[in-house]
Structure formats: structure tokens, C-alpha cells
Amino acid sequence: MQGKRNSRRAVAAVVFMALVMTATYAFTAANTVEASKAGDGAGAVTGYNVTGVHYTLNATDPGVVDSVSFNLDSAPVAGSTIRARLNPTGTWYTCTNSGVAVSCTTTGATVLGATELRVVVALAV
């Protein structure tokens, strides 16, 4: 008799678990999640070739560099930021471009202090 009682309890427990699992499945199956994206990627980063560098000296004091102009090998994307400096610890000057032609006003720069031309172009996105 005790064997029948244990088997009834076992059957009741199995039925109860089946009901709980079915109810849980019904609740989880009702969820809706919007589609989303995730990703990882890489792309080549290449530099510009700078050619045709021209320094414009001050008409009154030729020891002062009023501006520098140069050409890039391709036109930066519209809205890109272009900066140049004339020595490793010097001021970064704002530049403008028209296509591949770039011009930078170098207020305060001197010929003596101009030891490099470093150009940075940050593309607009």
C-alpha cells in the first residue's frame, strides 16, 4: 500500500512540475525583443602625401612666417579638421582647404623656429 502511495506522490510531483514548466514557458514565449546590432571591424588607415609646400614670409619682417600652404594627394571629406605646426613643441594652426589645396595662417611663427611641418587631418564623420 505504501508503494502505491509513493508512486501516486511521484506521479503528482511529475504532473505538478509539468504544469509549472508549461506555465513558465508560456510566460517566456510571450516576450518580444527588438532587433539590434553589434559588431566589430577594422579598416585601413592611410596618410596623406603633402606636396607643393610654400611658406609666405611677412613683407615687413621676413623672419616671420605669415602662412604655409600645401597640397594633399586627395581632398579630405567636407567638414574635416586640418591642423599644422612648424615645430615639435609649437602651436597647432587651423587650416582651411579648397579641394586638395590647404592654407594655414601661422600667426606668431618665425623662420628660426620652423623646424618641421607636421600636418594632421581628422576626417568628419
> Which of the two residues, 125 and 57, has the higher pLDDT score?
57
Residues 6+ apart with CB under 8 A from 42: none
* Alpha-carbon separation of residue 20 from 15, 31, 52 (angstroms): 9, 18, 78
Instruction: Provide the whole-model pTM.
Output: 0.66
What pLDDT, in 10s, does the model give residues 107-124?
999 999 999 999 999 987
Q: Edge-to-edge strand order for the sheet containing 118-122?
A: 50-57, 64-72, 101-110, 93-98, 81-85, 118-122
Cα–Cα distance for residue pair 37/21, rounded to 1 Å: 31
Most confident of 10-14, 42-46, 81-85: 81-85
10 pLDDT higher than 80: no
Task: Locate the domains of the chain by residue range.
Answer: 1-31, 50-122
| pLDDT at position 38 | 78
**Interatomic CA distance for residues 117 and 93, integer angstroms:** 11
User: How does the average pLDDT of the chain come out, rounded?
Assistant: 85
- pLDDT of the residue at 81: 96
- Show Cβ contacts of residue 99 under 8 Å, excluding neighbours closer than 6 positions: 75
| Percent of the chain scoring above 70 in pLDDT | 78
pLDDT tens profile 19-44: 666 655 555 556 677 888 777 877 78
